[in-house]
Structure 1
């Protein structure tokens, strides 16, 4: 017998319109910086253009994932597309780290072999990028507070704005001091920062995709609490995992002291549900058993 408790969550509704504006702005600045980077010879500006392109990909993936996650469950997709935003967050943060490693490598190469750069192009396009990314950050800032997928896109934009500030500073230094090696210094520093900011989201998304037990939940503590309930002899075959940021799933077999009726088990089930709700677990499936011959292992 299974029993699942559903809670209706009032999840934050993401604004597709704001994402759409951010995508449009970033496509425009990506094209402009790519052309400017080629003309000026600035690796930092080309890196910033590449990063802006990753922003476009990030925002498009986030937009699609946000639309998918709103689809209702069907017989073929019983959970719907709830995990699509987590997959998007994983892709976004992963590509940002890969991109950062590329920027770091190119920055090191350029440090040992600096070239003269047309700094005026760097300055004006960096300013344009700061404005565009600043507006994009403002568009999705509110949504990023409650959504891992949008947060990963938000981090893309925020770090790119910081990148553009560094590129601007580098452009000013190159214009007036002719220190062209500064282009490489800023590039490598930005790359290290991007890897640092992306790692947490990448790790959290991977843990959800792999269906790991949420870090704030101790399965042994839960088992001990449930086994303290009257008439519960043992809890085994426990699984705890997340579908997305909000929905934590729990399933287990409960071995009972006596062979009782279903109506007698209902109060026990209610107690278990109330106990698990304290851990943020909102989808519960319990299989009651009596005299079933198995290993009764907590995790199996």
Structure 2
């Protein structure tokens, strides 16, 4: 559907002279690429881990979200440039073609949005594809309004204003997604995680002296990992430490949603005991 929309709007934009229609076609083309990237990433993410890929391809969808959001911003920057140039030198536009192709874009993109809406709620990769399609539908609505204004009021500069507005909207939604995917790729601590609260909760458990050398990161949107050193207050046996570890796992999952935990036990080991250590 998006390939058909892209080809139709590109040809229609060239015939009519509408920059907003060409910008919509360009955005639709980026959607085609983003959907392919998202589909491939979705398939890769389901591949099993191996000895040389111990995490499998679980980050494929995060990379896809990063690439898709980056393309949104690049397309938007180009549209801003074109909109400014066209505003300075407006030209007459064949509004009839613009109106009909805008309606086509609204119908096709609207159907695509409905198809992806459910998956977009819980998956960053699918959300990046969904945002591409949603912004396309909104862009087509803007192009339709512009076409009607040009047809009945001959306000041709509105084509540039709408293109500029579409571009700004793309930058806003693209930046938010780019920031989120970048934080995961950079192994940043999630915003909803407070390291000091984790420490306070773990320190309430019996035999825990101090939790330190802490790292918390998202592998993907489903897996939140924690690794740390645990200084024990007594010289525990392995079975005793397993009991402590089980309680730590229970607390961290229930209170913080951390579902993958790797703890290194220590007793009177002389090393840096800071929460965060520059390894």
Specify if TM > 0.5. Answer: yes
Runs of 4+ in 1 over 3 A off after TM superposition: none
Instruction: Give the structure 2 partner of residue 32 of structure 1.
Output: 8
Are residue 294 (structure 1) and residue 258 (structure 2) matched?
Answer: no
Aligned counterparts of 1:197 and 1:167: Cα–Cα separation in 2: 19
What is the count of residue pairs matched by the alignment? Answer: 276
Aligned counterparts of 1:229 and 1:129: Cα–Cα separation in 2: 59
- Once the 2 structures are TM-superposed, how far is the Cα of residue 74 of structure 1 from its aligned partner? 0.7
Q: 2:257 aligns with which of 271, 275, 280?
A: 280
Aligned counterparts of 1:226 and 1:162: Cα–Cα separation in 2: 48
Spell out the pairing of 1:41-52 with structure 2 (5 A cutoff).
41-52=17-28
Instruction: Give the structure 2 partner of residue 18 of structure 1.
Output: none
Unpaired runs of 5+ in structure 1? 1-24
Question: Relative contact order (alpha carbons < 8 A, sep ≥ 6): 1 or 2 greater?
Answer: 1
Instruction: Give the structure 2 partner of residue 11 of structure 1.
Output: none
Aligned counterparts of 1:297 and 1:211: Cα–Cα separation in 2: 19
Instruction: Give the structure 1 partner of residue 225 of structure 2.
Output: 249
Instruction: Give the structure 2 partner of residue 14 of structure 1.
Output: none
> CA-to-partner distance for each residue in 1:155-183, whole Å, 9 max, x for gaps?
11111111011111111111122111110
Aligned counterparts of 1:79 and 1:196: Cα–Cα separation in 2: 32
Instruction: Give the structure 2 partner of residue 131 of structure 1.
Output: 107
- Once the 2 structures are TM-superposed, how far is the Cα of residue 264 of structure 1 from its aligned partner? 1.3
Are residue 148 (structure 1) and residue 124 (structure 2) matched?
Answer: yes
Secondary structure class of the residue paired with 1:255: strand
Aligned counterparts of 2:274 and 2:114: Cα–Cα separation in 1: 51
Aligned counterparts of 2:122 and 2:202: Cα–Cα separation in 1: 31
Q: TM-score, normalised by structure 2?
A: 0.96
Aligned counterparts of 1:99 and 1:263: Cα–Cα separation in 2: 58
Are residue 220 (structure 1) and residue 222 (structure 2) matched?
Answer: no
Are residue 83 (structure 1) and residue 59 (structure 2) matched?
Answer: yes
CA RMSD of aligned residues (A): 1.0
Secondary structure class of the residue paired with 2:262: strand
Are residue 121 (structure 1) and residue 97 (structure 2) matched?
Answer: yes
Instruction: Give the structure 2 partner of residue 19 of structure 1.
Output: none
Are residue 92 (structure 1) and residue 92 (structure 2) matched?
Answer: no
Are residue 179 (structure 1) and residue 149 (structure 2) matched?
Answer: no
Secondary structure class of the residue paired with 2:108: helix
Q: TM-score, normalised by structure 1?
A: 0.90
